[in-house]
Chain A
Amino acid sequence: NAGVMQNPRHLVRRRGQEARLRCSPMKGHSHVYWYRQLPEEGLKFMVYLQKENIIDESGMPKERFSAEFPKEGPSILRIQQVVRGDSAAYFCASSQTGRDTEAFFGQGTRLTVV
C-alpha cells in the first residue's frame, strides 16, 4: 500500500508562471489536506477537501490559489502567477475519514520562485 505521493518533489518557477502541485492520497482515503510550511512558521493549514468537494478553504489566499480533488485522479493545488513569497514547502496529507483517523503525509513539494 503506497503512501501519500506528491509530485514533483522540487519545482522551480519564474515569477508570473503557474505552479501545479499534485497529491495522490493513500488507497481508500477520501480526505485530503494541504499545508504550507515556511521556516520558523510551522505548518499552515490551507485547504481541506473530500472527493469533488472543498470542505474548508479558509487558509487559502483569496487570489491566485485554488485546489481541487476530482472523482478520479490526484488532488491538485494550483498557484497562478507565482511570486517570490510563494516559495515554500507544500505538504499534503490524507485520511480515511474526517475524524477518528490519522492523517498520513506526503514527502512534500518544495516550490522555488525565481
Chain B
Amino acid sequence: AQSVSQHNHHVILSEAASLELGCNYSYGGTVNLFWYVQYPGQHLQLLLKYFSGDPLVKGIKGFEAEFIKSKFSFNLRKPSVQWSDTAEYFCAARSYNTDKLIFGTGTRLQVFP
C-alpha cells in the first residue's frame, strides 16, 4: 500500500537553528512530492512541490527540499528557523499510478525565541 512516513513527530528548536525534517514514501514509479504547512487553527498551505527536473526544490519562506530517488526521500530543510515557523509540517506524495494524494502523519515544529 502507498504510504508516506515522517519520522520526526515533534521537533523543538531555538531561533536561528537549522532544520531538517525527514520524509520517505513507499512506492516506486513516477511521483509528485509536496510539503505543506499548517499554522495553528489554519488550513494547509503549500510550501513547495516537486514534479520533475532539478531535485533540489526551493519554496516559500526560505524552505527547500531535496528529492533523492534512490532513497525514496524528500527531506525538508531550512538553514535558520524563526519563531514564526512554529507550525505542523506535512509531507505528501501522489503516485502517477493512482493519482491518490497521501499524507504523512505530520511533524510539529516548535521554535523558541
Chain A residues near B (Cβ < 8 Å): 31, 33, 35, 41-45, 48, 55-56, 58, 91, 93, 95, 98-100, 102-108
Contact residue range for chain B? 20 to 34
Chain A, residue nearest B49 (CB):
A102
Q: Which of B82-103 contact A (CB under 8 A)?
A: 90, 94, 96, 98-103
| Given A100-B32, A100-B51: A45 touches B102 (CB 8 Å cut-off) | yes
Q: Does B46 contact A (CB under 8 A)?
A: yes
Q: Is the CB of B100 within 8 A of A91?
A: no
Q: Is the CB of A102 within 8 A of B90?
A: no
Q: Is the CB of A93 within 8 A of B101?
A: yes
Main secondary structure on chain A at its contact with chain B? strand
Known contacts A42-B104, A43-B44, A98-B99; 7 additional CB pairs below 8 A are: A42-B105, A45-B103, A99-B96, A102-B46, A105-B36, A105-B44, A108-B43
Chosen A-B contacts, 22 in total, with CB atoms closer than 8 Å, are A42-B103, A43-B106, A45-B100, A45-B102, A45-B103, A48-B99, A48-B101, A55-B99, A55-B100, A56-B99, A56-B100, A91-B43, A93-B44, A98-B94, A98-B99, A99-B32, A100-B51, A103-B101, A105-B36, A105-B43, A105-B45, A106-B43
